[in-house]
Amino acid sequence: MNDKGYLVDNDGNITDKNGKLLFPKECLLNNEFPKIFAFTKFNPKRITGDYFRDQNNQMPILKKDPKTNQLKDKSGQPVNNFGFLINPKTGDVIDDKNNLVVNKGHLDKETQNIPNVFRSGVLPENSDS
């Protein structure tokens, strides 16, 4: 157990009672997981830039601004390599109204993808969220 009372493995990742990984240590802030509640609603369209996808419909086709080296969508909005809108100063994922959605510290360290809880479809989708 960590100092907040969560079950952890030897590396400090939060796990369930069977040892299944729930939150990697890198996603924790002060040994706490990101607070997402059952009533949290999430609409991925609100954080996704405007772009075309590659032939396999997997990855976004993005342009790099030659002056800033920043990835941009078709509309010129700053995005990360997954096509999520970002605050170019902090790297945090934002929504289409510039509200913070995912702190950069909660993004996957290697890929900069949003946490699986947002990608897995377990959060109810709401077009007004």
Whole-structure pTM value: 0.65
Mean pLDDT by 10-residue block, N- to C-terminus, for the chain (129 residues)? 91 91 82 65 85 85 91 94 93 91 84 78 58
pLDDT of residue 122: 61
What residues contact residue 110 under an 8 Å CB cut-off, 6+ apart? none
- Supply 29's token pair: 């802030």
pLDDT of residue 31: 82
pLDDT of residue 94: 93
